[in-house]
Amino acid sequence: MNASFLWVKAFHIVFVASWFAGLFYLPRILVNLAMVAPQSTAERERLLLMGRKLHRFTVMLMWPALGLGLVLWLAYGVGRGVDQQWLYVKLVLVAFAVAYQHVCLRQLKAFERGAVRHGHRWYRVFNEVAVLLFAAIVVLVVVKPF
């Protein structure tokens, strides 16, 4: 294997794991926001600040993860050839992860406006979406079931 391929692959994994760490925690902040008592403005503002900062940081991790994935695909041919449909399913799941990040931001902005439509139980379920996406993507990459 080419040494540069291994470096690109290693950094792709690091950025993907870091991006998803943010996607695991950002919805947890939404759960906490949904549980804040109405009179607790300091706690609400602190959680909103944490959410905004985490979202920005997570977006900064997302771009190198996506870029390095494209390099692996286009420059090194990862996923090309016969029986490589797993990559296309993975790309759909990655698109869902990007959309999930966008939905997290919309939910955070709804909290900022005071226009929240869901309770903490809904956010607890919503919180698990990133875990399911991450698990499915890892299985596709490692097992390559089709």
Domains of the chain, residue spans = 3-143
**pLDDT on residue 43:** 97
| Largest CA-CA distance found in the chain, in angstroms, rounded | 60
DSSP letter assigned to residue 145: -
Q: How far apart are CA 20 and CA 58, in angstroms?
A: 8
**Cα torsion through 68, 69, 70, 75, rounded to 10:** 80
Place of tokens 């549980």: 35
CB-count burial class (<10 Å; 0-12, 13-18, 19+) for 115: exposed
End-to-end CA gap in the chain: 23
Q: Which helix (H) or strand (E) holds 119?
A: none
Place of tokens 């379920």: 125
pLDDT tens-digit series, residues 78-111: 877 777 899 999 999 999 999 999 999 999 999 9
Among 105, 134, 95, CA closest to 29? 105
Task: Give the pair of three-digit tokens for residue 137.
Answer: 């993507």
Enumerate residues 6+ apart whose C-beta is below 8 A from 121: none
3-class secondary structure, 21: helix
Q: What is the mean pLDDT of the chain?
A: 95
Provide mean pLDDT across the span 13-39.
Answer: 97
Provide mean pLDDT across the span 45-54.
Answer: 98
